[in-house]
Amino acid sequence: MKNLFSAPIDLTATLQSGQVFHWHENADDSWSGLIGTMPVRVSEKDRCLVVHEGDPGTIARHFALDHPLDQITAAFPSDPMSQAALSACEGMRILRQPHWECTATFITSSMKQVAHIRSMSLAIRERMGTHVEGSKIQAYPSFEKLAASTESILRDCGLGYRAGNLLKTARILAEGRLNLDTIAKQKTPVLRKSLTTLPGVGVKVANCILLFAYERLDAVPIDTWIHRILLAMRGGRDGTATELARYARRRLGPYAGYVQQYLFHHARSVKRVKSPASAIN
């Protein structure tokens, strides 16, 4: 039985925009993946989400179909770069991901491109994940299971130095020194500080986790692409990470995280960042 949701979505952009790394496209243009341990197969019809497999309610929440996308896109800045990204990526949504899975994945993302992050994520699932009936891939291993692992095993999954950070974080969580669900109630600045106490979680990774797992839609992860874009918007004026983050939140508006993700995906797609003379500084 199929379920069709009326909320608009660009499914391909959503799943290929560097938020999540384990979904794969099928021959019939549907997409398969896991939400936790639940197998999911979805497709897009007339810009709407079609559910072929999985619980519709859980899927609707994961794909954030309740986000007021019209209101969000109406709040986009009017400069040419933001509007070009909006036009190219219209319908892309910020996912609501499981706290641990998102945290672990972005700990492994440091200094890596999307394809590399995906490779590591799939390798970890294959080596230590939980078998899910009807799924081609395994569920991401719990922090308890990773905590009982070794740095050598994680390095075999291609993590390099990130293996140590992921292992230490898993052990902190397994020992109860931090609870990723409990801290969800914290205000954003406090939550960001809590996340950065974890090995391998700097400000940029913390902002990724805030945006993709904790639904803090004003969080702006500043990677190389966004750094270039912010420089262009500021007329070439650089700044410290704190200054750029403050500028980004002010410049990109109340849904800065959404704007950032549209800018990021568009820049990666066209492989360049234009700096038009008409860009607002």
Reading the chain (281 residues) residue by residue, the pLDDT tens digits are 477 788 999 999 999 999 999 999 999 999 999 999 999 999 999 999 999 999 999 999 999 999 999 999 999 999 999 999 999 999 999 999 999 999 999 999 987 889 999 999 999 999 999 999 999 999 999 999 999 999 999 999 999 999 999 999 999 999 999 999 999 999 999 999 999 999 999 999 999 999 999 999 999 999 888 998 998 888 888 888 778 888 888 889 899 999 999 999 999 888 755 443 333 22
Q: Is residue 208 a contact partner of residue 99, using CB atoms and an 8 Å limit? A: no
Do both 152 and 226 map to the same domain?
A: no
Counting the structural domains of the chain, the total is 3
Q: What is the pTM of this model?
A: 0.92
Largest alpha-carbon pair distance within the chain? 55
Q: Locate 200 and state its tokens.
A: 């391998």
126 shares its domain with 199: yes
> 């706290």: which residue's tokens?
99
Distance of CA 146 to the CA centre of its chain: 21
pLDDT one-digit tens code per residue, 136-174: 999 999 999 999 999 999 999 999 999 999 999 999 999
- 192 and 140, same structural domain? yes
Within this chain, do residues 87 and 111 fall inside the same structural domain, yes or no? no
- What is the CB neighbour count within 10 angstroms for residue 221? 24
Task: Tell how far CA 191 is from the center of its chain.
Answer: 17
Place of tokens 């109860």: 176
Whether residues 24 and 162 fall in one domain: no
The residue type found at 159 is: L
**Residue range(s) defining the domain that contains residue 181:** 99-203
Rounded Cα gap, residues 53 and 5, in angstroms: 14
